[in-house]
């Protein structure tokens, strides 16, 4: 707390030095979990944009890639009657807060800027509640990516795997090279991210039946057992020190050539970019084998909480800044994601960014764009957490594939 107060005091002194202290009404307090290097660099784009409009930024970062810890802090703040201005949030979490009546109204700025026409309908499902805009989407992340060290891939023959069998063969070659085949962090959301891709690789219809429709037959059938069998196989390619490792540290293993590849959403690209790595030269970005043509997504949004009337103008300016096409391009180039607007050109994006934008458009057009189970865009938190529990226990060897299938179907049914 002392450090936070010191930083605030320093900011106040700097404001006085340039001619005056910004009023509280001209400031925003932002709760988020973007604390890794690439994420922090992306967030800095928004901070500087607001500062150029004379809106000061009070940062409230809470480490933890999946946002679980941040949501715990948020609950305590709201319970104490001291909600932040804006909170980074995902999917159904936004709708849960809206149902509680805790969120503000962005209709004024959304109507003025025509958000309805440029923000994809799939995102609006989480940006609106009861017909009113309550959150500003920052990006569209797709989660079924593989990030491969190019030198290791070249040494293994240079061919990107397009099937499960080719993926396993590549991982065996990485093992022969003496590097960790799969860089992974043993946290439930990371385990679930891999499981998401594995299930999608067994068929987009199967993914929809299992994770969108929550069909008991899909959740408890033979194909789901095959998904768990594949998770067991992948577990054999993870190093012994994976438990509790943050995702960005797993990315670093690939960047540094200590591991062959990582299964992770496209926020991982921000780590490669920050390390000055170039797609096609230093690393390869590709869809998880078997998921080509389909995309599982999540969207980081800033949910705007109800604040005092004098703070609403700054809040609306923050929302406007987030949806600016210029910001959408600048931010997502750094973050590794695709813009949350359909009218942002891909000019400034690298090869992976252009692929992300194209894949998203193609999947949207073909009906193969699905909310990610692992990242809170397929089902409410209760269902997601029930799936997390079974997936992590199975990945850690506490459940056989047969046991996991039975537990998964039962856990989802109980959580509905």
- DSSP-assigned states of every residue in 166-192: HHHHHHHHHHHHTSEEE---BSHHHHH
Task: Return the CATH fold of 2-141+298-354.
Answer: D-Maltodextrin-Binding Protein; domain 2 (3.40.190)
Q: Six-digit token pair at 220?
A: 């408890």
- pTM, two decimals, is 0.83
* C-alpha dihedral sign at 201, 202, 204, 206: negative
Percent of the chain with pLDDT over 70: 94
Residue 167: half-sphere exposure toward Cβ, Cα within 13 Å: 24
pLDDT grade, residue 42 (50/70/90)?
confident
Task: Return the CATH fold of 143-297+368-415.
Answer: D-Maltodextrin-Binding Protein; domain 2 (3.40.190)
What local confidence, expressed as pLDDT, does residue 365 receive?
82
Average of per-residue pLDDT values in the chain: 91
Enumerate the CATH 3.40.190.10 domain ranges in the chain, comma separated. Answer: 2-141+298-354, 143-297+368-415
Does pLDDT of 36 surpass 90?
no
Does pLDDT of 149 surpass 50?
yes
Does pLDDT of 398 surpass 70?
yes
Does pLDDT of 377 surpass 90?
yes
* C-alpha dihedral sign at 397, 381, 289, 154: negative
Q: Six-digit token pair at 158?
A: 């240079």
């Amino acid at each position: 707390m002392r450090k936070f107060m010191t930083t605030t005091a320093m900011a106040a002194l700097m404001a006085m030095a340039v001619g005056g202290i910004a009023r509280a009404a001209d400031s925003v307090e932002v709760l988020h979990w973007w604390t890794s290097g690439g994420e922090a660099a992306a967030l800095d784009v928004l901070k500087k944009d607001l500062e150029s409009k004379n809106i000061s930024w009070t940062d409230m970062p809470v480490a933890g890639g999946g946002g679980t810890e941040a949501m715990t802090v948020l609950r305590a703040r709201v319970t104490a009657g001291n909600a932040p201005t804006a909170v980074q949030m995902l999917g159904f979490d936004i709708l849960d807060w809206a149902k509680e009546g805790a969120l503000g109204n962005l209709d004024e700025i959304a109507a003025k800027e025509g958000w309805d026409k440029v923000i994809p309908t799939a995102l609006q499902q989480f940006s609106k509640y009861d017909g009113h805009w309550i959150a500003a989407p920052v990006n569209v992340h797709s989660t079924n990516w593989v990030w491969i060290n190019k030198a290791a891939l070249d040494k293994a023959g240079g061919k990107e795997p397009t099937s499960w069998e080719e993926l396993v063969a590549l991982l065996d070659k990485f093992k022969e090279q003496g590097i960790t085949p799969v860089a992974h962090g043993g946290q439930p959301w990371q385990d679930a991210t891999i499981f998401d891709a594995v299930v999608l690789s067994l068929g987009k219809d199967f993914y929809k039946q299992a994770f969108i429709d929550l069909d008991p037959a899909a959740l408890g059938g033979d194909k789901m057992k095959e998904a768990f069998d594949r998770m067991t196989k992948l577990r054999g390619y993870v190093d012994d020190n994976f438990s509790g490792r943050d995702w960005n540290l797993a990315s670093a293993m690939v960047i540094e050539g200590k591991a062959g590849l990582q299964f992770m959403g496209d926020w991982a690209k921000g780590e490669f970019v920050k390390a000055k790595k170039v797609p096609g030269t230093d690393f390869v970005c590709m869809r998880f084998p078997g998921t080509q043509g389909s995309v599982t997504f999540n969207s980081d949004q800033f949910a705007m909480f109800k604040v005092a009337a004098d703070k609403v103008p700054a809040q609306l300016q923050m929302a406007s800044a987030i949806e600016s096409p210029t910001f959408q391009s600048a931010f997502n180039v750094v973050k590794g994601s695709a813009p949350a607007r359909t009218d942002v050109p891909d000019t400034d994006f690298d090869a992976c960014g252009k692929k992300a934008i194209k894949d998203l458009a193609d999947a949207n057009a073909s009906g193969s764009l699905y909310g990610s189970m692992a990242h809170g865009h397929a089902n409410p938190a209760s269902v997601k957490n029930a799936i997390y529990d079974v997936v992590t226990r199975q990945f850690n060897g506490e459940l056989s594939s047969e046991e996991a299938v039975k537990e998964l179907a039962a856990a989802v049914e109980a959580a509905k």
